[in-house]
Structure 1
């Protein structure tokens, strides 16, 4: 997914640095500077509008790079800062480009990562003060970002687990083997290979899209959004049928519904309210494919002559899940309530 970057500077020297950054940054960057110094390729900030422009950019971009004193940035943005889960990354540089400071939204917003990347490009000194980073341990909210995931009571659990990790206290972790490829490192955690062996008296993080784990105090389950749900159905299937079939499938597969990132089907079912209801209920994307787009994937699964005659391809659920995810399904064919379901796991996670 393309991200939006903006650089704001207040001096001519800073503008030259901004142009240097824009020339080497891997994604498009828009530069803003006061009208009296703005170059032809720079967006000019009219006299008296600096605060308004910067605050508006804060609400519009994914990363705001400020080449100026950090005090100016803090005072300007203070009224619009809301929450670490939604605020964009804010980086601050001196106009000589000697230091790159991760000022705001270090983990979830990506400021720490972009600070490191920008400092490398400029041969500058990265300044990252997040405790888990200075102690060189993984952070729970950074894991969540890498896995495009979810866990309950975000602020409380983030503060609790990250505080323990930064202090060098033991935190046990179990991650499903098939999810390990999505995570770059787990420094600071005590990784347990078998979840049955997790200690009952130690703070614990479980990374899984399943619901097989007993509820225990001091345990946080991080659920990655890694699964694509393929659906085939009869014409005019009801919402009640969809609800019941979904419940049966999740119970059969011990599936955490929060792990679904996308629902996929054939375009001939695009008018079915039940499919739109499921996507809206579980806050996931809904994608439809033509029979031609599904044909090659359908060859990997049992096909129905009736379904092929009706919609043009002999398997809808599994073929849709495979096309959407880029990988073959991980569950057998499931049929209930005049619906068929299949699950596939994303090859790469969206972040």
Structure 2
């Protein structure tokens, strides 16, 4: 899945390449932030940024650090030599594509999975009616990959490089890799070919084959050769009295997550009624979990508030009878998956995005 509203830079160095860049920009301009760069000597009114003489290398290297996808319409050798000093890590480098000046081949050069270069290669090749060139082993073998699976679920897993290399190699070589995935995450996954799918009860206690567990839950027995992939797709609804302390918020959250066997890193968004947008303890929890925050009016929450038990006192005070569940429901678009929990002056509920 392509990232939301990514920024794309297209760099050409010839007139022929610039025409291809214009074609790509025209096809994507209504959907994405696309900017076309070309040397001053061939620049025209459809080029967004002219590159002064002697500024090609620093310009491209700066773009590499700023954009989500860098498309270079030139020889592969020039592209590699230009960006090589700024390449750092597959988890942070942007997608880099190379296109020949006749527009016949679109090459996924860097960050094929995590950066999305393979997906962009397919997309741009369709626009140009060109041949996509993808050399990632799992793609050429037409099997799934661990890092792309995790990307689709905005997920975390430990020892990223080592585990990605291990699992993707085994998948590409058609070796057995077990996979357990919670059924509510399946609609967000596009490809699982190559994995041996198992149920929770079938997770082996001991096996030479690795086991990938995709779950926001933590109630799994200690296992060898197991990689726990934690999707960051949960929405935590919070209701609280005014000026609850960070200690109260932290304790309630820990109890809520522990009772329901939920992974802390699965929380993507913390939400509440707009009257609580300046509540320090909610801000503290969001900062601790590296989660987004959303706050909505009583009028907005009232649309889904009817789905949950209502407190007359809360409704009289803030306008809706159930803040935590209504907030989680409204933000995620789904009925709460984990029923409301009440701690000291704080309530919490959770739903899946």
Same fold judged by TM-score > 0.5? yes
Partner of 1:5: 8
CA contact 1:231–1:265 (8 Å) conserved in 2: yes
| 1:226-237 equivalence runs, <5 A | 226-237=233-244
CA distance in 2, matches of 1:51, 1:57: 10
Answering whether residue 286 of structure 2 is matched by residue 279 of structure 1, we say yes
1:337 CA displacement: 1.6
CA distance in 2, matches of 1:276, 1:57: 33
Number of aligned pairs? 345
Partner of 1:145: 151
| 1:56-95 equivalence runs, <5 A | 56-95=62-101
Q: Deviations over 1:191-222 (max 9, x none)?
A: 11x22212321211011110011122211011
CA distance in 2, matches of 1:267, 1:161: 44
Answering whether residue 37 of structure 2 is matched by residue 32 of structure 1, we say yes
CA distance in 2, matches of 1:19, 1:268: 48
Answering whether residue 314 of structure 2 is matched by residue 314 of structure 1, we say no
CA distance in 2, matches of 1:268, 1:119: 49
RMSD: 1.0
Partner of 1:349: none
Partner of 1:97: 103
TM-score of the aligned structures, taking structure 2 as reference length: 0.96
| 1:1-351 equivalence runs, <5 A | 1-25=4-28, 26-42=31-47, 43-192=49-198, 194-199=199-204, 200-201=206-207, 202-346=209-353
CA contact 1:150–1:222 (8 Å) conserved in 2: yes
TM-score of the aligned structures, taking structure 1 as reference length: 0.96
Q: Deviations over 1:140-193 (max 9, x none)?
A: 00001111111011111111111111111100001111111110110111111x
CA distance in 2, matches of 1:41, 1:179: 43
4+ runs deviating over 4 angstroms:
none
CA distance in 1, matches of 2:79, 2:137: 22
CA distance in 1, matches of 2:33, 2:230: 32
CA distance in 1, matches of 2:79, 2:222: 44
CA contact 1:174–1:205 (8 Å) conserved in 2: yes
Q: What are structure 1's unaligned runs of at least 5 residues? A: 347-351
1:252 CA displacement: 1.1
1:271 CA displacement: 2.0
CA contact 1:22–1:28 (8 Å) conserved in 2: no
Q: Deviations over 1:224-273 (max 9, x none)?
A: 11110000011111111111111111111111111110000011112221
CA distance in 2, matches of 1:340, 1:16: 58
CA distance in 1, matches of 2:20, 2:107: 15
1:300 CA displacement: 1.1
Q: What are structure 2's unaligned runs of at least 5 residues? A: none
